[in-house]
Amino acid sequence: MDFEGYPTFRVAACDLNGQLRGKRLPAGQFSKLAEGTVRMPLSVLNVDVWGADIKDSPLLFETGDADGVLYPTEHGPVPMPWLGSPAALVPMWMYHESGEPFLGDPRHALAAVLDRYAARGWRVEAAAEMEFYLVDDSGESLTPPVNPVSGRPLGGHAILSIRQLDAFDAYFTELYEACEAMDIPAESAISEAGLGQFEINMTHRDAMAAADDAVLFKALVKGLARKHGMAATFMAKPFAEEAGNGMHVHFSVLDAEGNNIFDNGGPEGTELLRHAVAGCLAGMAPSTLVFAPHGPSYDRIVPGAHAPIGACWAYENRTAAIRIPGGSPRARRIEHRVACGDNNPYLALAVILGAALAGIEEKMEPPAPITGNAYALDLPGLASDWETAIDLFESDPLIARILPAELIEHFCRTKRQEKARLDTIPQEERWLVYLEAV
C-alpha cells in the first residue's frame, strides 16, 4: 500500500492469546523495518490475557528478558479504518538476534507445520467462518445491541434474517469496504442463532494468509463496532442462554500440479482424506486448550450447547465435529468445527493441520462416519475443563510432534497464571476481562 497520507503506522506481532502487541512509529521509519530496527522483549508475546508477565517464565529469569527483533511478514501493511485518523498496521513476527525464529511466536508455529506440507510438495488452502456478537456493554452486564432502525434493543432471534442484517447495514457496509481495503477476502454474512450474533465467511486461500485474515478480521470487527457505538466480541459464550461463538476451519491440500489430494472424483474423497480425518480426531482432545483457551470457553463446550464436542466425523452433517461438505469433488475439503471464537487462529490452524498431517504420515484410519445427530451419541470428548486441558496439552505426544516444546511450555505457564487470577474474579464480572481481549 502507498504510505502517502499516513503520518503514523503501527507494527505488531500476535501473542499466544491472539492479541496484537507492538509499537506506533512515524511514517519515516517504514523503509527501515526490513533492517530489523524494531525490537521488543521476547516475553511480550507470552504475556497473559491482562498483559502481565508470566511470573515463572524462563524468558524473564533465564535470558534476562532479552530482546527479539521484529521483521515484517509477507502479508504487507494494511490500513486501520476504525481509527479516527489515517494510520496503517504492518504485521510482524519475532526473531532472535541470531536470525532464528522465536519459537514462542504462534505465527512461526504455523509456518513450521506448513513447511512440513511443503516438504511433500503440497500446499494447504484454508478459510475460516468467523462468528461474533454485537453487544451493548454500557451497563453492568452485557446486553444485546440497540437496533439502529428501531432504537430498541434486539428482542427476538433472527437466524438467517435479512431484516436483521439490514438493520445493521451501515456497520456491515463499512465492514465490507474495510475488508477490501485490508485485503481480507470476506464473502457471505449471515445473521446467526444468537441475539445480535453474526457470521462472516472467508474465501479459501493459502493457509498462512487465512490465519492472517482471521487475526486482522477480529481487530477490524471490534474496532468498527466501537466506531458505530457498540462493542463486538468473539467470546466463546457471551450470553449463557444464547448460542456460542465458534471458528470453523475449512481446508484442502493441493499437490505440485494444483490437484486436490482429497478429490477422488466422487463424494467420499480419497484415502488421504480419511487419514487426515483420523489425525484430526486423534488430535482433538489434546488440542482442547487451543480450541478453548480461556476459562469461559468451557461454557460453550458442554452437552446441550449445540457445539461439537464429541470426536466424530460425517459427510454433510453439521452436528459432527469433522464435516466433509458436499459439492464439487474438485473442492473436496475437511471442515473442522470445534474451535471456539476466542482462539488464536495461528495456533488453531497449526494444531488442526499438524494433526491432519500426522494422520497422513501414520496412515491412521478413522472410525466409520456417523449418521444422524452427533449430539445424541456417546462419543470421546474434549477435555472437560480448563485445568484438564492444560495438563493434557502439556503432556500429549501428538502435541509435542506438532508444536515446539518452548511454545508448549510458555502456553501452559500462561494459562495456569490466568486460571489462578480468574479464580479470584466473581463469575458475573469475568466478561470484563475478555470482551476486548478476544
Tens digits of per-residue pLDDT, 164-211? 778 888 999 999 999 999 999 999 887 776 778 889 999 999 999 999
CATH topology of domain 113-434: Creatine Kinase; Chain A, domain 2 (3.30.590)
Measured CA distances, 132 to 225, 236, 333, 336 (Å): 11, 9, 24, 18
pLDDT in tens, 260-278: 999 999 999 999 999 999 9
Query: What average pLDDT does the segment 207-218 reach?
Result: 97
Confidence band (pLDDT; 50, 70, 90) for 252? very high
In the chain, where are the structural domains located? 8-104, 113-434
pLDDT in tens, 26-45: 988 988 999 999 999 999 99
Confidence band (pLDDT; 50, 70, 90) for 242? confident
What's the confidence (pLDDT) of residue 255? 98
pLDDT at 23 > cutoff 70: yes
Query: What average pLDDT does the segment 140-144 reach?
Result: 91
**Of 156-170, 214-228, 265-279, minimum mean pLDDT range:** 156-170
pLDDT in tens, 386-413: 999 999 999 999 999 999 999 999 999 9
Query: What average pLDDT does the segment 243-258 reach?
Result: 96
Mean pLDDT across the chain: 93
pLDDT at 1 > cutoff 60: no
The count of other CB atoms within 10 Å of the CB of residue 285 is 21
C-alpha cell at 234: 468473539
Please give the helix or strand (H or E) that residue 69 lies within, else none. strand 67-72
Q: Which is nearest to 411 in space by CA: 394, 424, 436, 388? A: 394
pLDDT in tens, 108-125: 999 999 999 999 999 999
Query: What average pLDDT does the segment 421-436 reach?
Result: 95
> What sign for the dihedral angle of Cα 230, 231, 237, 238?
negative
Confidence band (pLDDT; 50, 70, 90) for 56? confident
8-104: CATH class: alpha beta
Residue carrying C-alpha cell 479464580: 423
Where is pLDDT greater, at 304 or 92? Answer: 92
* CA dist., res. 37 & res. 30, Å (int): 10
pLDDT at 7 > cutoff 60: yes
Query: What average pLDDT does the segment 431-435 reach?
Result: 96
pTM: 0.96
pLDDT at 2 > cutoff 90: no
Percentage of the residues of the chain whose pLDDT score is greater than 70? 97
Q: Is residue 346 a contact partner of residue 211, using CB atoms and an 8 Å limit? A: yes
Measured CA distances, 357 to 77, 205, 216, 289 (Å): 31, 18, 26, 20
**Of 86-90, 155-159, 238-242, minimum mean pLDDT range:** 155-159
pLDDT in tens, 323-379: 999 999 999 999 999 999 999 999 999 999 999 999 999 999 999 999 999 988 999
Where is pLDDT greater, at 5 or 263? Answer: 263
pLDDT at 17 > cutoff 90: yes
Q: Is residue 302 a contact partner of residue 295, using CB atoms and an 8 Å limit? A: no
